Amino acid sequence: MNPENPNRLHYPALDGLRGLAILLVVVYHNFGFINVFFFGWLGVDLFFVLSGFLITDILLKTLHQKDYLKKFYMRRVLRIFPLYYLCLILFLLIIPQLNIAFDIKYYTDNQVWLWTYLQNWLYIFKNPDQTNTLNHLWSLAVEEQFYLLWPLVILVIRKPKHLLLFISLLLVAVLGLRLWIWTNQVADLAYFNLYTFTRIDGICIGCMVALLLRINKGFLSRYTSLIVLFFAALNFAFFFINRRYNFSFPYLALAGYTTFAMMFGLLINEAVTGKTKLINFVFNISLLKFFGKISYGFYIFHWPVYILLGPYLFSRVSKFASGSSLQFTVSVIATLAAVGISWLSYQYYEKRFLKLKDKLV
């Protein structure tokens, strides 16, 4: 890897980091009954930081190109929209017409929110009590809302130092808003977990890493290992306190997401610069990179596939298994099915749009 290449738009080690992110999400959702995977929700925050870094890196490197905004939005549309809207067509339009025991009414009744990437707001104001089949798509909504405006901010401000100041102030505002929500005793934790203006901190930190690499490449590399270990120890200590007191001590909601994101930002910096051999070795492992390649489809399909196949699998597998072994077997089969679907999606559907993206943009 040559991190000095200003035109580099792909960092191989980040595929492995993306693979780690999707595996964390999947084990949390599909294997949540195993207590050791309680921290899997961190995968979403890792995705946020990765996304903020990669998008900002691309925007900075293409800022002086002709049709900068048009090219960015075209790239984004061709990468995100085809699979996302295919998912909505399948689960909101086609499957409800089939004779399948699949509770999707909440989403079909409120589908305009999903078609317009506003579903995270829907889940706050009208919580789906009886179903959660498509709830995981909230994070895609947060990202798309942020990236609708961030390219314009970069176009207007331009200078990395000024952009760093802007994004730092935005991060402070996010933390301030979380504090305000808590001090005003807003009981619904969805305001911490799903609200756009309280969940863009990870994206902001990813943006900051990309900007700092432009301003001072060595800044984040000093004492990285110690900082990562400190944040990890701090976060997990307070996370256990949160679990013990059922969020009555709101470290995670107020600052935990942000400090975890900072830790991920440092990992991304090391993966990009290639200065830490262990990190680059781990995130260049072929299996992690494989999951990184199919991560978008795997994220979209893993949970709906689990919900869709679950009743059938439980009825079949229960003939020779029970209890935790039944749950584990069903989860493994459903997850492998989602892996297969995601691989097929990447090879025969997503790649067509990726090639079109490269050709047009």
- Condensed to tens digits (0 to 9), the pLDDT of residues 238-249 reads 666 666 655 555
Burial of 110-146, coded b for 16+ CB within 10 Å and e otherwise, reads bbebbeebbbbbbbbeeebeeeebbbbbbbbbbbbbb
Answer yes or no: is 189 within a domain: yes
As a whole number, mean pLDDT of residues 225-236 equals 72
Q: What number of CA atoms fall less than 13 Å from residue 207's CA on the CB side? A: 25
Q: Please tell me which residue, 208 or 12, carries the higher pLDDT value.
A: 208
Whether 315 maps to a domain, the answer reads no
User: What pLDDT score does 6 carry?
Assistant: 44
Dihedral through CA 272, CA 221, CA 23, CA 10, nearest 10?
A: -10
Number of domains in the chain: 1
| Tens-place pLDDT, residues 250-295 | 666 677 788 889 889 988 988 888 777 788 888 999 999 999 999 9
Residue 1, pLDDT above cutoff 50:
no
Q: Which of 60, 83, 82 is nearest to 8 (CA)?
A: 60
Residue 320 lies in a domain: no
231 located within any domain: yes
Looking at per-residue pLDDT, the higher value among 53 and 10 belongs to 53
Q: Is residue 90 part of a domain?
A: yes
Residue 76 lies in domain: 12-17+37-286
Residue 130, pLDDT > 80, answer no
- The percent of residues above 70 in pLDDT, for the chain, comes to 88
Q: Is the pLDDT of residue 329 over 80?
A: yes
Q: Over 90: is that where the pLDDT of 321 sits? A: no
pLDDT interval class at 91 (50, 70, 90): very high
Identify the DSSP state of 137.
Answer: G
Give me the pLDDT at residue 190, please: 64
The token pair that represents 338 in the structure block = 């989602």
Mean of per-residue pLDDT scores for the chain: 87
Report residue 31 as tokens. Answer: 């294997």
The reply to whether 22 falls in a domain is: no
Residue 340 is assigned to a structural domain of this protein? no
Residue 338 lies in a domain: no
